[in-house]
């Protein structure tokens, strides 16, 4: 039997323990807006996936994720891992409290708890595309569900560097810039083959391939300025064989929205993507989480999730 109440899945460590320290404010904001809810805190990485699966099985059809992009990613994956309920029958609300908060920028969801609670109480829903991303880890295939963006090569190296900084206690927007700059300088081009909708789109040396549903990634980088969340397409951006000097000169364009004006940047859209890199497995990130390696296969699930915004 379904439950009309909301289940709040909160990551207490998000934003350097911000959620834990300000939980009384979040709780008060939701109650003040008339939102009826139960709540649970995640206890470890990936625990929010389990909590989301359990919430749906326990009858909840309304779920609120409290945390950063990683928390949202885990809750979405829990929603899609369960098979009892169609995913678009589940409503997802978000209270952003992480360091990046890239995905919520697309919907204009504010950081203010009271305003977030009012949005959730109002219940306006839009349907968003989700993407199934299949990767390999030690030659074993595994799947994740992407709500915002994924990257192969440099993108994943930046995420790995950024996550390492977070584990050391660093936070804020500038860690993404620092991680990107550091990764650019030590990354060398690899031989890529990128297939979009069954046709070869790019073959040659490149630094990175970004697969985007949303415009923003990596704390505000704009690798897909034309991305639309509900068009049934993924935006594919290839950063080609660029010299370190050229990268440093044009680095600011990653944040300006003018990335397509740079020579050696290749862009298209499609419903399915396959990416291969010559040699050993190369890291892949999905919504900022490094999850495995190449080859990669991506497929769109059109308007598969209901977002409260």
pLDDT digits (tens, 9 = 90+) for 246-275: 777 787 787 888 899 888 999 999 999 999
Domain spanning 3-123, CATH architecture: 3-Layer(aba) Sandwich (3.40)
pLDDT confidence bin for 230, thresholds 50/70/90? very high
Q: What is the pLDDT of residue 302?
A: 98
Alpha-carbon distance of 79 to 288, in angstroms, equals 18
Q: What is the pLDDT of residue 100?
A: 72
Q: What is the pLDDT of residue 282?
A: 82
pLDDT confidence bin for 278, thresholds 50/70/90? confident
Domain boundaries, the chain: 3-123, 130-302
pLDDT of 139 > 90? The answer is no
Q: What is the pLDDT of residue 172?
A: 66
- pTM greater than 0.85: yes
pLDDT of 143 > 90? The answer is yes
Average confidence (pLDDT) over 215-229: 88
pLDDT of 222 > 80? The answer is yes
Answer whether CATH 2.60.200.40 is correct for domain 130-302: yes
- Per cent of the chain over pLDDT 70 is 98
Q: What is the pLDDT of residue 177?
A: 74
């Amino acid at each position: 039997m379904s439950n009309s109440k909301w289940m709040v899945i909160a990551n207490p460590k998000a934003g350097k323990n911000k959620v834990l320290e300000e939980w009384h404010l979040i709780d008060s904001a939701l109650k003040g807006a008339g939102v009826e809810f139960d709540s649970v805190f995640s206890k470890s990485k990936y625990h929010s996936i389990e909590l989301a699966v359990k919430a749906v099985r326990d009858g909840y059809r309304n779920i609120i994720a409290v945390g950063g992009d990683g928390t949202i990613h885990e809750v979405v994956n829990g929603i899609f891992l369960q098979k009892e309920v169609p995913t678009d029958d589940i409503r997802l609300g978000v209270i952003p409290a992480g360091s990046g908060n890239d995905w919520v920028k697309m919907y204009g969801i504010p950081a203010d708890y009271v305003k977030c609670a009012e949005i959730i109480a109002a219940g306006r829903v839009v349907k968003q595309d989700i993407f199934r991303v299949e990767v390999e880890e030690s030659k074993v295939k595994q799947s994740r569900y992407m709500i915002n963006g994924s990257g192969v090569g440099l993108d994943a190296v930046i995420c790995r560097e950024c996550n390492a900084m977070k584990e050391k206690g660093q936070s804020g927007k500038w860690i993404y810039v620092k991680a990107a700059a550091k990764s650019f300088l030590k990354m060398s081009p690899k031989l890529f083959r990128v297939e979009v909708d069954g046709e070869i789109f790019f073959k040659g040396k490149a630094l990175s391939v970004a697969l985007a549903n949303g415009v923003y990634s990596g704390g505000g980088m704009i690798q897909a300025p034309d991305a639309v969340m509900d068009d049934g397409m993924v935006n594919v951006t290839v950063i080609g064989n660029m010299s370190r000097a050229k990268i440093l000169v044009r680095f600011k364009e990653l944040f300006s929205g003018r990335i397509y004006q740079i020579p050696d940047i290749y862009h298209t859209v499609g419903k399915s993507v396959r990416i291969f890199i010559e040699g050993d497995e190369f890291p892949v990130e999905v919504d900022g989480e490094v999850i495995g390696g190449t080859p990669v296969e991506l497929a769109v699930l059109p308007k598969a999730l209901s977002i409260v915004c």
